[in-house]
Amino acid sequence: MRKTRNFKHLPLFLMPALSLSFAMVKIFALPWFCLPLITAAIALPLFLLTYSLPPSWRVHEAENRRREVIELENFLTIFSTYLRLGLSPETSLLMACEQYSGELKSLLSATVQAVITAGGAASYALAALSKRLKSPECKRILILFSRALNKDAKLFGDTALSIISCLKENRALKDYVNLLYSKMRLRASLLTIVSSAVLAVMTRLAPLISILKLSATSTTAHSVGFQSESNSLFVAMIMMNFMNAYFVSLAVHHKHPILISATSTAVYILVYLLFPQLILSF
Contacts of 101 (CB under 8 A, 6+ apart): none
Mark whether 139 and 224 lie in a shared domain. Answer: no
Instruction: Give the residue among 11, 33, 12 at the shortest CA–CA distance from 21.
Output: 33
Q: Is residue 248 part of a domain?
A: yes
Q: What are phi and psi of 242, to 5 degrees?
A: -65, -50
Distance CA 266, CA 258 (A): 12
Angle, vertex CA 258, rays to CA 255 and CA 261, nearest 5: 115
Mark whether 211 and 147 lie in a shared domain. Answer: no
Q: Is residue 143 part of a domain?
A: yes
Distance CA 231, CA 266 (A): 17
* pLDDT in 10s for each residue of the chain, 282 residues: 344 444 555 566 666 777 777 777 777 677 777 777 777 777 776 666 666 555 555 566 777 888 898 999 999 999 988 888 888 889 999 999 999 998 889 999 999 999 998 888 888 999 999 999 888 889 999 998 988 888 877 778 778 888 888 888 888 898 898 888 888 888 888 888 888 888 888 888 877 766 666 665 555 445 545 555 667 777 788 888 888 888 888 888 777 788 788 888 888 888 887 887 777 665
- Rounded to the nearest angstrom, the gap between the alpha carbon of residue 171 and the centroid of all alpha carbons in its chain is 18
Ramachandran assignment for 29, one of left (phi > 0), alpha (psi -120 to 50 degrees), beta (any other): left
Mark whether 84 and 224 lie in a shared domain. Answer: no
Q: Is residue 190 part of a domain?
A: yes
